[in-house]
Structure 1
Amino acid sequence: MGNQTRYCFALDLKEDPEVIERYIAHHRAVPADIIKSITDAGIEVMDIYLTGNRLFMIMEVGEGFSFDRKAKMDRENPAVQAWESLMGTLQQSLPWAKPGEKWVLMDKIFHL
């Protein structure tokens, strides 16, 4: 774990306890091909936290990581497209998200 860059993102789930439970259940058993797509993109750590219906994701990536490369890999991977489509039925964009944007990159405002 040499030089890593950390990115933090936020996204909301639909405000429905059943939807939230389904999302949690899916993430307790993420398919192997989805895990592989994440690690193949150069993501070394990915943690998702939940409070209420708000999701917070921490991603740590190696030097070779590129958002553009990951997006291209995801577009070309039918398993990722199916997973994203399924997750999209449970998620809702943040009010300040750009059109079509799901996970919103957060700004770091403090460090100790």
Structure 2
Amino acid sequence: MKKFCLALDLIDESELIAEYEKYHENIWPEIKQSILDSGIKSMEIYRVQNRLFMMIEAEESFSFDAKNKADKNNPKVREWEELMWKFQQQLPHSKPGEKWQLMDKVFSL
């Protein structure tokens, strides 16, 4: 299994944060299926203030490039991602249109 950690910020407005969390209480079935189809076995998102932290465990064959390509060809995923932009903001130094930033591991015990 591969592990990945990613970060993203939400727009710092309590009403928007609450709405974002509400959407994630019961994600659309097509989104769940696209995640599983990509080889992701486990995904968790945590929040502190407006900062999100995502942990992913995926099969060895998992590829962000393959997932991004599949997502671009999936109308429901595109619809979900467009909706999520209402709540999200890029981290500083992100490339244009880039959302979640892959984090570097700096310590392991």
Percent identity between the two aligned chains: 50
Q: Give structure 1 regions of 4+ aligned residues with deviation exceeding 3 angstroms.
A: none
1:58-77 → structure 2 map (5 Å cutoff)? 58-77=55-74
TM-score of the two chains, using structure 1 as the length reference: 0.95
> Where does residue 46 of structure 2 map in the other structure?
49
The secondary structure found in structure 1 opposite 2:106 is coil
Secondary structure of 1:69 counterpart: helix
The 3-state SS of whatever aligns with 1:65 is coil
Root mean square deviation of aligned Cα: 0.6
Q: Counterpart of 2:54 in 1: which secondary structure?
A: strand
In structure 2, the partner of 1:79 is: 76
- Unmatched 5+ stretches in structure 1: none
Give me the whole-angstrom Cα distance separating, in 1, the residues matched to 2:75 and 2:103: 28
Name the CA distance, whole Å, in 1 between partners of 2:45 and 2:87: 15
- 1:89 deviates by 1.0
Pick from 92, 105, 109 the counterpart of residue 89 of structure 2: 92
Q: 1:18 corresponds to which residue?
A: 15
* TM-score, normalised via structure 2 length: 0.98
Aligned length: 109
Q: Which runs of 5+ in 2 are unaligned?
A: none
Give the residue type in structure 2 aligned to 1:12.
D
Determine the C-alpha separation between the residues in 2 that align with 1:99 and 1:92.
11
Q: Deviations over 1:55-112 (max 9, x none)?
A: 0000111012111110110000000000000001110001121222100000100000
